[in-house]
Structure 1
Amino acid sequence: MSRSVKCSVFFLVFGAILIILGCVLIPVFHNFIHNEIKKQIPLKKGSTSYTNWVDPPVPIYFQVWVFDLVNPLEVTEQGATPAVFQKGPYSYREHRHKVNISFFDNGTVAYREKRSFTFDREMSVGPENETFTTVNLPMITIAELLRYEYDWLQEMVDALLEVVNDAELFLELSIADILWGYEDNLMKAIKDIANRFNHTFADDFGLFYNTNGSDDGMYTIFTGSDVQGVNKFNMIDKWNSKTSLGYWNTPPCDMINGTDGTMFPPFVEKSDNLYIFSTDICRSIYASYEKPVTQKGVDLYRFSVPPVVFERASLNENNAGFCTPPGNCLPSGVLNISVCKSGAPVVISNPHFLEADTEIIEGVIGMHPNKEEHETVLDVDPLTGLVFNAQKKLQLNAFLQRVNHIRSTSNIKETIFPIMWLNESALIDNKSANEYKSSLVTPIKVTQAVQYGLIVVGAFLFICALAFPIKHRMSQKNTDALVDIHNDRLTNDRPPTERTNLIQS
């Protein structure tokens, strides 16, 4: 065997070994990474993940934009379309801390999460005592509770509304008032009457009254331990010891399903729906894959809430259970949550009624829905399920309707009236992102480079080993041809001899 053939065989075998090694390392390393993640994901005392879970290091912001009504008299007296002007943002730093933590043998942990809010003047357009004109939600709540009561009771309350301060349909309130609460004269005056009809009213009212410094209930979630597996990590088992809410009309609508939206089970696929339970909207929803994004140098999947989630029941029969009362279904893009707000006619939607029916958007002057600005998004690491960027956007509205014998509502046009929209957001900080990249992203990229590098080098050697003999044979043929030509020339250039014809034909 010639030396060239031996070299070809060596490179052929060595290249094949590198290709096989690179291909074998792909599933081996894939399984290794998955197994390591399965070890690190579960919540357990003493781990770094547990510390970050108890006190999230990522800065959280709670931002509010209010809608200032510019034509209250025309709306009340003439039934004009409400015209609003957006003001904001008014920004708060949100702090979360988990308390009353108890682990159980079935792979679950129970806790409460305290939330507190601190006003951030530098990130706001003005102080939180700035005022705006908005709907008198206590007043329309009382009117709504009286809708099916006796006429004489409606007339008695209407007479009371005429003499009590703060009983008009629209009020001027500050940002702090509408959020955290203010003493309401009407609620104080109506309290005794309401008690006789099994309705309880406090003296104060605010959309987030008693939220600052408190929690929204006891959560029991799966830790992701071997008992239940990482596929259930952070999934809610119970809320306030319940697996269903008791608000909605069908079991699928009423069930508590998903995580709290801060983390998801690992190994997220584009085909997955990420389920989230939110006490703010009194239901579970889901987000579906939208597009790839990059945050802090990490490749992520962006999930968003699709329009079908809030689609009208006539288009999506799965939403029939959210009609309140049963059969009374609102158009697409809005949800009546009065059943979980003590009868207050509160309706939720996307900001500026994004994805809502045209009749809802055109029912208020000043709505400018924009997908990029008003969409709820979650940027999720598909490997670990960690959320690098979250923007939960929600609009709170009041359902304005006429009520018999309540004169302040006699001229109004039925409207979903926008009060405010908010964005509760969190973006991973640089320190946490760099730690994540150094511990997981960089090692994965280096290993992948080695894997595919072995395959590329092996393939190159393999091809060279196959090509070298061919090239050698072609080169040999060319050499032989040149020798023949050279010999022919030598023959033709020799002087004639006795045996050579002097005349050649």
Structure 2
Amino acid sequence: MVSAGKKSTCLMTCGSLLIVTGAIMVVFWPAIFYSQLKKMMILTDSSTSFSIWKDIPIPLYLECYLYHITNVEEIVSGKDHKIKLEQRGPYVFREFHTKENITWNENSTVTFYNKKVWHFQADMSNGTLADNVTNINPIIATVAYFMRYQHPLLKLTVDVFMKTIHEHMFITATASEWLFDGIDDPILRIADRFPELPFTIPFDKFGWFYDRNESLVYDGAFVMNTGASDFSQLGNVQMWRHSDRTQFRGECGEVRGSTGELWAPEFGQEEVEIFAPDLCTYMTLFKNVSTTVLGIEGVTYAANDSLFDNGYKYPRKACYCDEVRDRDCLPSGALNVSQCRYGAPAMVTQPHFLNMDPYYAQKVEGMDPKPDMNMALTLEMFTGMPLGVSAQLQINMLIRYVEAISLNNQLPEDDVLVPMMWFRQELSTTEEYANLARVALNVRYGVPYGLYALTAIGALLLLFGIYILVKKIMKSPETPILRESPSVEE
């Protein structure tokens, strides 16, 4: 039988070890968890994050809405003074992203191309790709925009040339042609045969996503940080199309922000940045509200009225206009991406002119902006896992009066921003990936409770050991707690 002394010693030793171990682990557990998370998240060809990044496994959908002008005859005849628009769609496509031509660099970056594939989802769409849609002819608008500063005689010649092909500046095409198949306009074929013309249009058809489906190189080459040297930079773009700058001046032309798939843990940052190759710039989203997705708490970052400002409200965004501000610098809420779109007068806004200066919005009928059209991103803060993405943009054509090009000057006003289409890219985490986040979070929050329990057990063992020791001492005749005082002889 084990003696009381040995039992006491064993209990106190074990208790002390458990208390020390538990206390130390409680203090260092956040750092240990973060270290393990980094090993999983830092991008390598063998990391947990690699397969998710290379082929996004979560369903991603593209919803396209086309604007149809309902009063073309009235506009051409001069009876109506406003364009009347009717929204068609959504035409929904399942979207797939695959990283190709992956090259690992020595400076903690990776070079790759992002191949995108779209498949039409008829059962999720409102309408068919055979629907006819009428709007401004983007080719006429682009040619007029190219020619706006040319000699009047040259502009008159181009106007006569285009009038031999088109009766007016509007065109009707199917939804499929407007989106992916492209509109076959004779102006493009003729322009291709005569390179000496004063304008260059570098495509044989026009479509908002023409020549992009299954294209490897359309979006260009990206150089992205893997997070190996600085984990906080995980997923951030450092170069695009072999440059660290785009067409915009100053900080607006910096290549920066996340690609959107990988995020380092966002411990309460007030804002996040996303690089948008279609805009040749980055977008800033601001901390908005706390959100719960499939039982997981996250934080939603959303756009505000600074998204497409160019210095009217936020001086630091003046770099989206020339240093000498002219009429090409549109009112707040519209971003001029003509330099990014081969010189076409393309302007990007939020859908239905949401958060935009009313100057252009009041010139057309049919706009109905709603709060849920705002761009938003929801992240789980401790893992950086995207819980939901809703990227929404509207493409517009800027139609302004151009002297001597009468085909372009048929609108009731001489300065109109015509909505052409808007799209929404939506991604919401699945139950499978929500479970991965739950496991990580349970480990993150559950282990400390286990460590607290370990420490408590250690304390109980220590106290029990002390109790046994005290009890033994109290019962021992050899070491009485109180000794009798010797008698004093008188």
Q: CA deviation at 1:409?
A: 3.0
Deviations 1:416-446 (A, max 9, x none): 11111101111112112213322x1222342
Q: CA deviation at 1:361?
A: 2.1
Q: Which amino acid aligns with 2:289?
A: K
In structure 2, distance between residues paired with 1:218 and 1:359 = 38
TM-score (norm 1): 0.81
TM-score (norm 2): 0.83
1:274 match: secondary structure: strand
In structure 2, distance between residues paired with 1:128 and 1:325 = 43
1:309 match: secondary structure: coil
Q: Which amino acid aligns with 1:276?
A: I
Report if the CA contact (8 A) 1:308-1:316 is conserved.
yes
Give aligned-pair identity as a percent. 25
Give the equivalent residue in structure 2 for 1:224.
Answer: 227
In structure 2, distance between residues paired with 1:314 and 1:434 = 45
In structure 2, distance between residues paired with 1:241 and 1:411 = 42
Give the equivalent residue in structure 1 for 2:189.
Answer: 188
1:286 match: secondary structure: strand
2:364 match: secondary structure: coil
2:365 match: secondary structure: coil
Give the equivalent residue in structure 2 for 1:309.
Answer: 307
In structure 1, distance between residues paired with 2:272 and 2:325 = 28
In 2 relative to 1, CA 202–309 (structure 1 residues): closer, same or farther, beyond 3 Å? closer
For structure 2, list consecutive stretches of 5 or more residues without a partner in the other structure: 1-16, 459-490
Q: Which amino acid aligns with 2:155?
A: Q
- Provide runs of 4+ in structure 1 moved above 4 Å: 17-26, 448-458
Give the equivalent residue in structure 2 for 1:465.
Answer: none
Give the equivalent residue in structure 1 for 2:255.
Answer: 256
Give the equivalent residue in structure 2 for 1:93.
Answer: 94
Report if the CA contact (8 A) 1:399-1:417 is conserved.
yes
Deviations 1:77-107 (A, max 9, x none): 4261111111211100111111111111211
Deviations 1:40-67 (A, max 9, x none): 1111113332112111111110110111
In structure 1, distance between residues paired with 2:201 and 2:91 = 31
Matching of residues 80-479 of structure 1 within 5 Å: 80-165=81-166, 168-180=168-180, 181-193=182-194, 195-197=196-198, 199-215=200-216, 216-225=219-228, 228-245=229-246, 247-248=247-248, 250-266=249-265, 268-323=266-321, 326-328=324-326, 329-371=329-371, 373-412=372-411, 413=413, 414-438=415-439, 440-450=440-450
2:64 match: secondary structure: strand
In structure 1, distance between residues paired with 2:318 and 2:136 = 29
Q: Which amino acid aligns with 1:421?
A: W
Give the equivalent residue in structure 2 for 1:73.
Answer: 73
1:156 match: secondary structure: helix
Matching of residues 3-18 of structure 1 within 5 Å: none
In structure 2, distance between residues paired with 1:398 and 1:289 = 31
1:132 match: secondary structure: strand
In structure 1, distance between residues paired with 2:96 and 2:27 = 42
Q: CA deviation at 1:302?
A: 0.5
Report if the CA contact (8 A) 2:66-2:87 is conserved.
yes
Deviations 1:102-135 (A, max 9, x none): 1112111111111011100000012112111111
Matching of residues 28-47 of structure 1 within 5 Å: 28-47=28-47
Q: CA deviation at 1:195?
A: 3.6
In structure 2, distance between residues paired with 1:264 and 1:171 = 43
Q: Which amino acid aligns with 1:285?
A: M
Deviations 1:373-408 (A, max 9, x none): 201111111112221211110000010111111112
Of Structure 1 and Structure 2, which has the larger fraction of its residues in helix? 1
Q: CA deviation at 1:251?
A: 2.0
In structure 2, distance between residues paired with 1:340 and 1:312 = 16
Q: Which amino acid aligns with 2:131?
A: E
Q: Which amino acid aligns with 1:152?
A: L
In 2 relative to 1, CA 195–22 (structure 1 residues): closer, same or farther, beyond 3 Å? farther
In 2 relative to 1, CA 411–185 (structure 1 residues): closer, same or farther, beyond 3 Å? closer
Q: CA deviation at 1:263?
A: 2.1
In 2 relative to 1, CA 102–152 (structure 1 residues): closer, same or farther, beyond 3 Å? same
Report if the CA contact (8 A) 1:353-1:361 is conserved.
yes
Q: CA deviation at 1:457?
A: 11
Structure whose CA Rg is larger: 1
Give the equivalent residue in structure 2 for 1:10.
Answer: none
Q: CA deviation at 1:169?
A: 1.2
Report if the CA contact (8 A) 2:163-2:407 is conserved.
no
Q: CA deviation at 1:151?
A: 1.2
Q: Which amino acid aligns with 2:260?
A: G
In structure 1, distance between residues paired with 2:231 and 2:24 = 26
Q: Which amino acid aligns with 1:274?
A: V
2:140 match: secondary structure: helix
